Structure 1
């Protein structure tokens, strides 16, 4: 589920629950809208989480390893 689809789900859910006053027997459009918005928000959160993990790259194996040298202090 991409970011565009999640935003569409949120928008359609908001329209169904807030702007539509149709009466369909057996279907509560407010609940359907809330469910679509919840699915959209969950999908958006998971997409952003996965996208953030993909962007973070581990250091390449060819990167030089920096070792800390030990300094000894001489006391006179």
Structure 2
């Protein structure tokens, strides 16, 4: 039985969206390691991020779907 994920991730550079999706998909698309991915979602990275630094946000899929309905 396959479960549906509740969350996906969105990668930002400043206010621009770089990519989004499940963790493994982002790792493959961006050609990064799993440890780099976890660094991007860490609260320390978010707190210390400059305007052009990559950060990741964990987002509920339901929020993504709602924002898509908005457009």
TM over 0.5: no
User: Aligning the two structures, in what range does the TM-score lie when normalised by the shorter sequence?
Assistant: under 0.3
- 1 or 2, which has the higher strand percentage? 2
- 1 or 2, which has the higher helix percentage? 1
Bigger relative contact order (CA 8 A; separation at least 6): 2
From the CA coordinates, give the structure whose radius of gyration is larger: 1
